[in-house]
Amino acid sequence: MKKNLLLTCLIILTLAFNAMAQTKDTAKTEMKEANPADVSSIDAIMKAVYEVISGDAGQKRDWDRFRTLFHKDARLIPSGKNPKTGAVGARAFTPEEYIERSSPFMEKEGFYEREIARHTDIYGNIAQVFSTYASFHKSGDKTPFQRGINSFQLLNDGTRWWVLTIYWQGETPDAPIPKTYLKTKKD
């Protein structure tokens, strides 16, 4: 009898934790709807991503808008070489983890990222976009503090575009941006 009671309690606790987890996940997915102008085309979603992360020091970003651009399973993946060890690696973040990690820097230092060239390949409902970027601390800066390539993977579900991943690498002396990625590819 005690074993049955203990087993029943464990089952109830497990179901309760699962229900709470589902409620928490559902709350995240029940966020505000995307502005159709932000997700109606590849150009629109690319423009929206760059706009939403850019701003002056002290300026809060519209993270709700940011969230609406990303698929529920999206990842943001910085990659590069560790300057201390020389090891090359990458780390995947959810959009929420990216917000938590990047927001303090962006708001303290100011951060503007501008697309300077783009190469897009589309097949069916998927797109792969190599977006060469330049990063600045102020909108009027002429010289970037960083350049690199954002590799976007996008999905069109039949009604809108979603960002599935943004995988990027900053330019270094060992890995300069090839000239082919400094000019927009004409299809």
List per-residue pLDDT tens for the chain, 187 residues long.
555 444 443 344 444 444 444 444 444 446 789 999 999 999 999 999 999 999 999 999 999 999 999 999 999 999 998 889 989 999 999 999 999 999 999 999 999 999 999 999 999 999 999 999 999 999 999 999 999 999 999 999 999 999 999 999 999 999 999 999 999 876 5
Residues of the domain holding 3: 1-30
Which residue type is seen at 138? K
8 A C-beta contact, residue 51 and residue 61: no
Same domain? For 94 and 175 the reply is: yes
d(CA 38, CA 13): 42
Same domain? For 142 and 71 the reply is: yes
Residue 53 lies in a domain: yes
Same domain? For 161 and 143 the reply is: yes
d(CA 125, CA 123): 6
Same domain? For 96 and 164 the reply is: yes
Residue 125 lies in a domain: yes
Same domain? For 165 and 94 the reply is: yes
Residue 83 lies in a domain: yes
Residue 73 lies in a domain: yes
Residue 187 lies in a domain: no
Residue 92 lies in a domain: yes
Q: Angle 146-142-140 (CA atoms, 0-180°, nearest 5)?
A: 110
Residue 58 lies in a domain: yes
Which CATH number goes with the domain that contains 155? 3.10.450.50
The total number of structural domains that make up the chain: 2
Same domain? For 20 and 81 the reply is: no
Same domain? For 17 and 45 the reply is: no
Same domain? For 13 and 68 the reply is: no
Same domain? For 25 and 95 the reply is: no
Could you give the 3-state DSSP secondary structure of residue 72? strand
Same domain? For 25 and 41 the reply is: no
Q: Where are the beta strands (DSSP E) in 21-124?
A: 70-81, 88-90, 112-123
